[in-house]
Structure 1
């Protein structure tokens, strides 16, 4: 495969090289006109052609052009483009800052109309370049954000079936469904997957951002503020706008390889970004292939706990010890699953008049993930009915496999035009996410020897079609106006499994979807907004937005937002906003109903049920139909620019959500056994039931801060220092809304385990300290990420005990070496010091923390039972079943070779 990659790159280079015969070579350097700082990544293009390059880390470039070329066009984000006459010798190019270009960076996310530079914006924004993401060394977009944005968190869970297809993420501890994802300013479709396991993000769904190829990204804009008034539902916590590469500067091919320090989790990836400029437009495309192999991190299993009837299986100790002698980890496979992905993306534009452009974007992703369920030991499942063990061999149990096949697509076509100062953007977007599952090496025990060993248990699909029209005008020097509307139609489908996957006890590990739980549901909504921006003075800006929405399934919602900023001087800016917001219940949350096999501490794997919000069972329980969440969001911030190379921002936020939708805790039957709840459980053959409800009122508040110092002279190079952090003051519920039937039975849909998953399982704080050192063209990047503590209360813990993951610093090193203007080699060591998650038991009465030692129970013997309950007798000893605040894989090495052509 490596030879194929190399030949492909050489072929591309050779093909392009045919066009450069009889060329001349130009060299030069690009700098900031004001402070002389070099500008790595600046675009240098022979005017009137598609021939170009970018400056290296020293701001220098080398470019072969036809002898007829007389002018170079030099450009860089945030600077005015410049035409430079070609002359003999070395070209020194100085670019001036262009505020209008910076304004365009902000307009697409920060406001629907008012154009403001980063210093002037009334809203907190993070803007990350492609280089920022690449320097993390992470192989997926979501993990790169984890180590760049303090308020952004994502988590790997050790084993959670379909959750392995995409990890839950969130901004400001608000869950994945409260951050709106945009691509080039257009709404990205939600994933078909809803997290229902005991993991962060439970009961929610978000867009699959891990599927977006990093090679296609130009920059990322993250608005850390409620934006329902601008964009509608799903923007309570903020908005992430992914801007794709557009006008073509150069082509590139990147080969990436990686491996963990333990020698597993091998990664190989190959991507090509290319395109072309032509007389009236451009096209830019990316192709990306990757494969990551299994990284296994099981724990050592306790024989005594396995043999214990209350903790394990009540099997003879001798039998358990005999098996564990062969498989000390009880055959379990958990950590990072095998992942194969193919990604295709195209972005283009075409001039259709003097002031009009047709634009289009399309992306398709295929992903396959192979993971494993818990190993079925011979004392857990005494037989496989001879279906999985070859004849003549001793039966040693079996490990069911779980395969997820994901297809995700999105496409937009639109027209932007301008007439008499009125700017109009008319677009249509379609998108969808489909996931189908396969279980193999398993059996349906109720079918005996007639059971298959391969099952298709069903899957899910979500799709939407979105139409937008946005109109704006700068009425005069002080007043700007914009308005627009959006129509969206959504469809959610649950696919039925094959009969053998659900009949009787169902496929062991992942029962299939029954026909009565499958089906398709749809809805539509229509919304409109108006946005006004007014400069009261040169220093004082006020912006207001009003939005109204109508949904076909629950009715209307009206929200608003007011934001402002005041510049005391060019060095001190005060900003703030207040908004109301809403989030419509997902179709998944309204209609998904299923039986699910889950780990129950002390009881092994049990089948539980999720009844949908409109089902007869939910009606019998007195569960009201879901309504939108309502929110208020207040932010106030301070921006400081003490010197030209130093900038500081502080932003306080306070988010209150009323009628927050949650997937409640598993409710078991009563001791009397004669209630409607008991009848529901008995008739469905499940031990507990969960459902969605507008169950909580919550408050989340915190502080974001960013300190950036650049151009520090150090030796023969220049050092940049970046300090960014997030600290959570409050993240809690203020009240629980229990249905009367549940409350009368002295039960609650929100228990301490759900409380932990929703609130305390995310870091209390996170701080990123980064150093960028540039010397003789070599760029050295050292990032240190401090993950604050997280706390869990797992099922099985006594009322006086919690578990807490201790704070830890993860250090990442990246060294980028330009071999030439066209070839760059980058070496990354992620988690240099091999820092692994560590957790303690906490006695809530005394505050004493105890680190349990599985190999020596003294002096922690009092936690013996609880340790085994929450780790499934040691299977998940490193992170527990719920995961931790950072990766469990330890040190990872990655290397990449990028060749421009």
Structure 2
């Protein structure tokens, strides 16, 4: 048989394409515990994305890419030269922090990544869910609740909830193949490039079990070559600046030395979903396993450097001799989630109890690198660190409807949950962080630690645990046929962060047939992630004159951070207010929602504090002798987010089936309060506040405030076609390199056009071809002050990316 949700298909390929948001009468399970509520019946905004729409929009097999293309309030920027951030990409909902969106799988809390994004821009400092651990071909549909929901689901649900429903294939299955590549001509480079070759093979199968049960299994394998949009080095403009002045470096001037783009990725998923009714109960289990290896790039290193005495120096044991070297980040990311439970009825109550386990572990290695301070004894490959995050969850939910003599029953739901979180980081190889003999100022004063590292030291390794106990009550009532009311409350206690209380009230009133107003008021919370409490990292950034600066993120409880005024992190707290209008008449559907979100104690990284004003003795006393700047996590900011969202569609028939859609989102972030800098900073000769230009940019203007998606879907019995035009609002990139050098660039709005055409050539065989970024658009080139001496030609913040046009073809066989 033909399976309705297919791993590599267009919108059911030659079958009728589904709109990005399913029909208004689709029953939802997110945002309300009342039964039989539909998309437009909901008192809060919920988007329902079909498997067919997701697979067409996710041409590379990424769940978050599909959400980026279909949902105006969702942002999924790419990263480059950012270590683990190249492969663990952060995603935003409503312009808020990536870790302020709760992700569920089959209604159960999904675990987060083991590594915080310390070197990224959007989502910097967060430890969110890694969407790449979720297989696209496992998804039956996705429900996106765009509203605060801490009272219903617990911590993290400040921006909303993304509930991923796994596919329920009960008979037959499918196999599919996708191949694609970038065919593009970047203006800065001036020649056609073909790279990013991607091959994706996937399949799934399902069969029925006794008593109407089922088991579905599937998997995929992805191989993706990297991309490179680096510009031409302009080091010849800095012949008198440090290492640029040595003639042995001159042959590299004007060459493309860096690698800026997507990493090389290889990996896959295995998954299953099952149910088995036995008597009055139904046993269920589902799970996802994933592993991938990503090889990303770091900045190019010249063969001849300048030692601590200002002299030119050619280190021994360079990875590629006089050709210079570009360290490679080798990141192995593995993930496992398993859930088993039982549901049924007892005494009129619908009961659901389950056990869940989720784990993510990451190993970070470097190749083609060197520890200068070890001289000829330095290896060229290093283990930098390992990190692992575990989540164990036990929960019980109860739900019952009571006839109270009104238009509809009163729904009473309550539940309890226990969570156990653990996080552990492991030190790297001694050579990755060693301060070798050549680091001594009396010798050559060379930089210690692996280049593009250094590794995590045993002193900075951490092992943290947390226990959470919570409970909730959720009541719904329909006093008259046109009015629906909902209230909920939740209490959660953290053994390390105290007790948090959340509440919510929501209502919907249908004032005329097909037309309704709705609104909600709530508060939510988010506890600091264990990865944020224990994180430590060192990276390199460009500073004035194209020079590299060594920046360290200190654990908030480290001696150095405490000496500079760092404080223990408190939970974030939010207040959400939203209201809107819905309409559904004659094939036309519309929803308009406005929102206002206040967030107190926002957890973010502090500004990078410039250490150039400290004497060597002061740096050594603080344990910061080898760093140019440092930062640490803080609760220094209160934020306000205001905006609105419009989703509209119209379906009709004319020479086939048509579905026209338009969706728009606007969200403006602003800073309400910034805590004063701790006096310890000034006492140690460090000027500036906890939040400066760069962090203000990260929090308020680094992501587009608005996004418009226009879609056209058409199909007949054999052919189908889907086209989408997306306009992303402008963004800003702001740097503060120290010494008063604060370059800024504003990027204007950008359009991207994507399309796909599919045909069913046999009853069981379908083909499709498509294009992303049809017109090969690129963001404006980066200005000289921020392009790293010409090497970083395009800013990776651009929401349309920097890879240019992408072409692909798909084939699918159903059985």
Same fold (TM over 0.5): yes
1:322 to partner: Cα distance = 2.6
Which residue matches 1:754?
695
1:438 to partner: Cα distance = 1.3
Hey, what's the Cα distance between the residues in 2 that align with 1:384 and 1:217?
52
Hey, what's the Cα distance between the residues in 2 that align with 1:56 and 1:449?
59
Which residue matches 1:809?
751
Say if 2:13 and 2:720, in contact at 8 Å, map to a contact too: no
Hey, what's the Cα distance between the residues in 1 that align with 2:111 and 2:16?
39
Task: Give the alignment of 1:130-529 within 5 angstroms.
Answer: 130-136=51-57, 137-261=59-183, 262-280=193-211, 281-309=213-241, 313-316=243-246, 320-324=249-253, 328-329=255-256, 331-353=257-279, 355-380=280-305, 382-389=313-320, 395-476=322-403, 477-504=408-435, 505-529=448-472
Which residue matches 1:31?
none
Deviations 1:591-612 (A, max 9, x none): 2234334444436333322222
SS of the equivalent of 2:332 reads strand
Hey, what's the Cα distance between the residues in 2 that align with 1:665 and 1:291?
38
Which residue matches 1:631?
574
Pick aligned residue for 1:871 from 787, 796, 811: 787
Hey, what's the Cα distance between the residues in 2 that align with 1:146 and 1:397?
38
Hey, what's the Cα distance between the residues in 2 that align with 1:114 and 1:560?
21
Which residue matches 2:50?
129
Say if 1:681 and 1:689, in contact at 8 Å, map to a contact too: no
SS of the equivalent of 2:245 reads coil
Which residue matches 1:690?
631
Which residue matches 1:702?
643
SS of the equivalent of 2:114 reads coil
- State yes or no: 1:556 paired with 2:499: yes
Hey, what's the Cα distance between the residues in 1 that align with 2:661 and 2:649?
5
Which residue matches 1:569?
512
User: CA 1:349–1:217 in structure 2 vs 1: closer, same or farther (change >3 Å)?
Assistant: same
Deviations 1:784-812 (A, max 9, x none): 01011001212349688631121111000
- State yes or no: 1:120 paired with 2:22: no
Which residue matches 2:442?
none
Deviations 1:32-85 (A, max 9, x none): xxxxxxxx9769xxxxxxxxxx9874579xxxxxxxxxxxxxxxx999xxxxxx
Say if 2:60 and 2:198, in contact at 8 Å, map to a contact too: no
Which residue matches 1:63?
none
Pick aligned residue for 2:803 from 889, 896, 899: 889
Say if 1:511 and 1:597, in contact at 8 Å, map to a contact too: no
Deviations 1:90-120 (A, max 9, x none): xxxxxxx996xx43xx12x112345412221
Task: Give the alignment of 1:719-738 within 5 angstroms.
Answer: 719-728=658-667, 730-738=668-676
Hey, what's the Cα distance between the residues in 2 that align with 1:161 and 1:301?
22
1:873 to partner: Cα distance = 0.4
Deviations 1:259-290 (A, max 9, x none): 11022110111101112112232100111001
1:436 to partner: Cα distance = 0.2
1:519 to partner: Cα distance = 2.6
Hey, what's the Cα distance between the residues in 1 that align with 2:543 and 2:672?
28
Say if 1:341 and 1:365, in contact at 8 Å, map to a contact too: yes
Q: Which has the larger radius of gyration?
A: 1
Stretch moving more, 230-239 or 749-758: 749-758
1:839 to partner: Cα distance = 5.3
Pick aligned residue for 1:111 from 12, 32, 41: 32
SS of the equivalent of 1:819 reads strand
Deviations 1:749-773 (A, max 9, x none): 2111111122101112100000001
Larger RCO, structure (CA 8 Å, separation 6 or more): 2
Structure 1 residue ranges without an equivalent (≥5): 1-15, 17-39, 44-53, 61-76, 80-96, 841-866
User: CA 1:387–1:688 in structure 2 vs 1: closer, same or farther (change >3 Å)?
Assistant: closer
Hey, what's the Cα distance between the residues in 2 that align with 1:338 and 1:635?
42
SS of the equivalent of 1:517 reads coil
Q: TM-score, normalising length from structure 2?
A: 0.91
SS of the equivalent of 2:64 reads helix
User: CA 1:400–1:432 in structure 2 vs 1: closer, same or farther (change >3 Å)?
Assistant: same
Say if 2:95 and 2:705, in contact at 8 Å, map to a contact too: no
Q: TM-score, normalising length from structure 1?
A: 0.82
SS of the equivalent of 1:708 reads strand
Deviations 1:314-338 (A, max 9, x none): 515x65543225xx11x21121110
User: CA 1:836–1:681 in structure 2 vs 1: closer, same or farther (change >3 Å)?
Assistant: farther
